[in-house]
Each structure stands twice: as structure tokens, then as C-alpha cells.
Chain A
Amino acid sequence: MQVVLFNFEDEHDVTGDSSSNRIMEQQEVIPLIELIDIRKSYGNSVEAVKNISLTVQKGEIFGIIGHSGAGKSTLLRCVNLLERPTFGSVKVGDVELTKLSTNQLQKERRRIGMIFQHFNLLSMATVRDNIAFPLELAKMPRAAIKQRVDELLQLVGLVQHADKYPAQLSGGQKQRVGIARALANNPDVLLCDEATSALDPQTTNAILSLLMDINAKLGITILLITHEMHVIRSICDRVAVIDGGEIVEMGDVVDVFLKPQHSITMDFVSQIADSFDPRELIGTRDGRLVKINYVGEITYEPLLFNAVKSTAVQFTILQGTVSRMKNTPYGQLVIEFIGADTEIDKVLDELRGKGLEAGDLK
């Protein structure tokens, strides 16, 4: 484990205002979850997870994306040993969970919150009692439990629903109860098992922004699994794509999203990007087709116009996305340039000089 001393005052850059940026920078270097050579097989034949190693850093939101049956659910359950890996070690913080006794493991699990696709709330207990459940397990005194539950109800915005039963709540409200319950014991880590997959798009976004809030305000590290690229793009800092029990691609979301390498990753990226494939344009246009990617603040600058205005080159935008990945703006355009090749090359060089990626569509 590497230890890096860090002075974030020096690193504090001008682009971000927020304390969350500072937290992220500061935490960039501390590994919180370390999965080493995890394998999990059922019986002799089925291998759900094949030799996965993965480090999640303190304070980040790490996403694992994969199709159903890819092994992501099993992998997530290996982190708190709901599934005990057949081989490999799991470390959360400084504690190697795979070496603990049952009793010690039960205590350590209180530092690891978990939320679920189907919420898994006690149907016979009120919202308040559901949130109090982990505190009762931790033998917190009654008065302290009440106070803590009130705080948590406030945090997830369910104060007026405290005495309802889960069956009386909407999906989004149920997941808020799940989140409050998972946060009750002030965990370091929150594991999210397809937490938004049972929710409609609007509710999904509300839950995602709640998760991002929790990450920023409380500094809780989040490890989530999903099959929706939208979730990864909205809140994750890093992502691992898994398929057939193996990681096929891993990196910063911005990189993986804009430059997917593996075909599975491309599938997921196309969930979000326009389902229209720009390569279909080839041969249908007279001009030169160029694909441009850009990331960060330059997204909002009139670079394209500036680059062509001194030339005779004209352009048409054939396809384009300008959006945000978590807090990072980005754009992806397919442009038809009309003009002399040499002049177009000059335009492209100028764009590259500003930090854009530009290349002919192939």
C-alpha cells in the first residue's frame, strides 16, 4: 500500500469551488476497499468471478457495470462477505475481512452500509423502526437511537413519513429508507446493489443525486453495481466493466466513456449516446466527416467557430452530444467540413491545439 502525503492547499485548483473537490483530491490516494485475486465458484463448474482485483479509493464513487450474469452482483457481495470468495482476500480499511471470525465480521459489517435493488426493508416495521434496526443491532441507547433516526429522516427527506410502513411508500421513498438505514451507523463505505434499477427515470435521478450528496457531504466511499450506463455517467468517478466474471476495462469514467476499447463497453456507451451510429454517414455526404471529442470547460467555448472563421471552410454538425459526466462537461460531435483538404487540416490542427480530439470518421 502506498502512502502519499498530501497537501491539498497547493493542489487546490481554480476550476472547482467546492469542498467536494477538495475531499476528492485529498482522498485520491488512500485505498479503502482492496479486492485481491477474488474468485468465486459454485460447485465445481460455474465460476461467477474469475480472478478479479480491484481497489476503490477513499471518497470516490466507483461503478461496476455489466450485463446480468456477468458476476457483478457476486463480486459486490464478496466485499462484505455475504458471499465468501472461494479464493482471494478482501480488505476494507485496514481490516482484512476474509481473516475475521464470524463475530468480528458482524462488527466490521456495521462500517459497510448496503442498499438493494428491491430495498429489502422490514415490511412489518415502520420507516422509523427500519432505520433504527442497525442501531439496535449495535446496542445504541434508546434516546440516542431516536435522535440519530431523526437526523437520518431529515437527511433523506422522509420526516413526514416516519410512522408509515414500507407498503405505503413509493419506490423512491423506500430506497430513501434503505439509504438512511445503511447510513445509520456512519459507515465508511456504501455498497449499492442495482439501487436504482427498480425505479423510474425521474426517481432514479433523485436517488442518484442523493447518493452524490452523501458522497460529497459525508465523504462516504460508494461502490455500486449497475447495468445502466446512465448511472455510471451521472455519478461515478471510476468504472470497471465486467463480463464473464472478469474485468474487461477499467478507468476514469471520462476516458472509458469517450474512448471505449472493449466491445462490451461500447455496447454500454451506446445505451446513452444516440443509438444512431455515425459510421452510417460514411459515403452519404460529399464533405469530409470528422469526429470531435472534447472534455472540460472548453466544452462551452466557441472553438469551432473561431477555428473556421479565418478560412473558407464551412461546416455542418451532423450529430452531436453536449452533456456532463458527473461534474465534467463533455461534447462529442460528428461534423462535415466542406472546403480544401489543406485548409480543413489547418482547422483540425488548431482544434487539437486547444485540447480537442479530432479525427476523420472511419
Chain B
Amino acid sequence: MMMKLDWSQVRWEEVWQASKDTLTMLGASLLFTIILGLLLGVILFLTSKRQLLEQPIVYMLLSLVVNVLRSVPFIILMILIMPLTKALTGTTLGVQGSIPPLVVAAAPFFARLVETSLREVDRGIIEAAQAMGASRWDIVRRVLLLEARPGLLAGITITAVTLVSYTAMSGVIGGGGLGDLALRYGYQRFQTSVMIVTVALLIILVQLLQMAGDHLVRRFSRK
């Protein structure tokens, strides 16, 4: 099937705007995801079995919440939490309106990655820190987060890439950005050229994120 692509259909200023929107959504949601996910991940780790703050009930409840949020498909989650989104940002549309669902979807995912990387930290190092008189907070800040840094950076990279695909999906409910563009022109108006441009841009974005992440992980690996 040969189809002639009409590149004149591509409105570059709209592509440019959509790219900026995607980057804004990605940046803002990644920032909040890291903050919330790190917090949640550290708590999950500390309250889990045989750890510093072992609290089986707290762990079980948090774990349940994380699992529930992770099992709801993003597209449905966006719709489900619309009231929350509206309360937080005043709108459910556009760049602002898509940030809360992105964070709610990505933070539990990232929290699990944080928990896993913290679990990789050698128990002996934690024990040594305790023997030196470190408080729990010292251990989290100076030992766990430091030692798990390569794992955390890898986790941030994976989360960022996941967020790129989520931002594209948020176009469905009018979230703006490249996904929105692809949907409105490429899908609804059969402008394949626009679709190709947006997909290419998304691929480039994901590549760049992955390369930057890999570079950081390598830079901070000491083993």
C-alpha cells in the first residue's frame, strides 16, 4: 500500500507547541513522581519485613494501595481521578490537568522501583552504620539513598520513559502535547504525516532520556 505523504499538512508551530507541552508535562510530572515515589518507596522499604521500621500492617496497606493504583489502566485512572485533578489544578484539561493523573499513575510504579533498589543495598553496610551510631534518618539519607543511587537513577529513567507514553495517552482526554496532536490530526483527520512526525519526536525523546539515564547510571556506578 503506497500512500503519498503530504508534508504540507504538518503545522510546525503546532508541533513545536505540542513538543513544549509534552516536555512540560514530562518535567513536572517526573519531578512530583520522584518526590512522592521516593518517599513512598523509602517507607515501603523501611516498614517491610526485617527492616529498620518493620511495621507489617503499614506495609500491607501501602502495598495494597500501590498495587491497586498500578493495576488500573492509565486511561481509566485519568478518568477516575478527574475530581481530584480538578480540585488540585482547577481543570482536567491541558497540560495542568494531565499532571495529577500522570503522577498518580507513575509514583506507585516508581515507588516499587525505589523499594527494589533499596533492597539491593548490602545489609552489612546498614549494620556498620548502626554500629557507628547512625540514627535511622542518617541511615536513610547517608547510606541507603547513597548506596542505591545507580539503581535509583535507572528507576528514574524507566519511569521517565513510561511517563512519555502516558503523556501521549493523556491526549485522549484533551491533555495536550504530542499525543494529543497525533490523535487529533493523525488519527481523526487521517493526516499520516503528522502522525509520523509526532511518533518520530516521541522516539527521539525516549532515546535521549534512555541515553542520559544510562550515562548517569554508569557515571555513578562504583562496582
Contact = CB atoms under 8 A, between A and B. Distances in A.
Interface in A174-219: 181, 185, 191
Contacts, number: 65
A166 B131 CA distance: 19
Interface stretch (A22-30, A112-120, A145-153, A240-248): A112-120
A76 B149 CA distance: 31
A82 B133 contact: no
Given A123-B223, A133-B132, A136-B142, A82 B127 contact: yes
Contacts of B146: 122, 124-125
Interface residues of B, number: 21
B133 A165 contact: no
A77 B132 CA distance: 13
Contacts of B14: none
A328 B142 CA distance: 45
Contacts of A191: 131
A124 B222 contact: yes
A120 B127 contact: yes
Nearest to B132: A134
A73 to B, nearest CB: 11
B1 interface: no
Interface in B6-42: none
B133 A124 contact: no
A138 interface: yes
Interface in A131-164: 133-134, 136-138
Nearest to B123: A120
B134 A124 contact: no
A306 to B, nearest CB: 54
B128 A106 contact: no
Nearest to B126: A120
A107 interface: yes
Contact of A165 (B128, B130, B222): B222
Interface in B39-89: none
A167 B223 CA distance: 6
A324 interface: no
B143 A122 contact: yes
Nearest to B147: A124
B217 to A, nearest CB: 12
Contacts of B135: 103, 106
A122 B132 contact: no
B124 A120 contact: yes
A82 B222 CA distance: 28
B142 A116 contact: no
A185 B133 CA distance: 11
Nearest to A80: B131
Interface residues of A, number: 29
Given A106-B134, A106-B135, A134-B133, A116 B128 contact: yes
Contacts of B149: 124
A227 interface: no
B185 interface: no
A114 B131 CA distance: 7
User: Which of B124, B131, B222, B223 has most chain A Cβ within 10 Å?
Assistant: B131
Nearest to A138: B133
A122 B125 contact: yes
Interface string B184-223: 0000000000000000000000000000000000001011
Contacts of A181: 132
A109 interface: yes
Nearest to A114: B131
B132 A167 contact: no
A137 B222 contact: no
A45 B149 CA distance: 40
A221 to B, nearest CB: 16
A320 to B, nearest CB: 42
A123 B147 contact: yes
A122 B125 CA distance: 7
B133 A107 contact: yes
Contacts of A80: 131
B134 A112 contact: no
Given A82-B127, A137-B142, 17 more contacts: A103-B135, A106-B133, A106-B134, A107-B133, A108-B133, A124-B146, A124-B149, A125-B146, A133-B132, A133-B142, A134-B133, A136-B142, A137-B133, A165-B222, A167-B223, A181-B132, A185-B132
14 contacts: A107-B133, A109-B132, A112-B131, A116-B127, A120-B124, A120-B128, A124-B146, A124-B222, A134-B133, A137-B138, A165-B222, A181-B132, A185-B132, A191-B131
Interface of A: 80, 82, 103, 106-110, 112, 114, 116, 118, 120-125, 133-134, 136-138, 165-167, 181, 185, 191
- A-B residue pairs, 9 tightest by C-beta: A120-B128, A109-B133, A120-B124, A114-B131, A106-B133, A134-B132, A110-B133, A165-B222, A124-B146
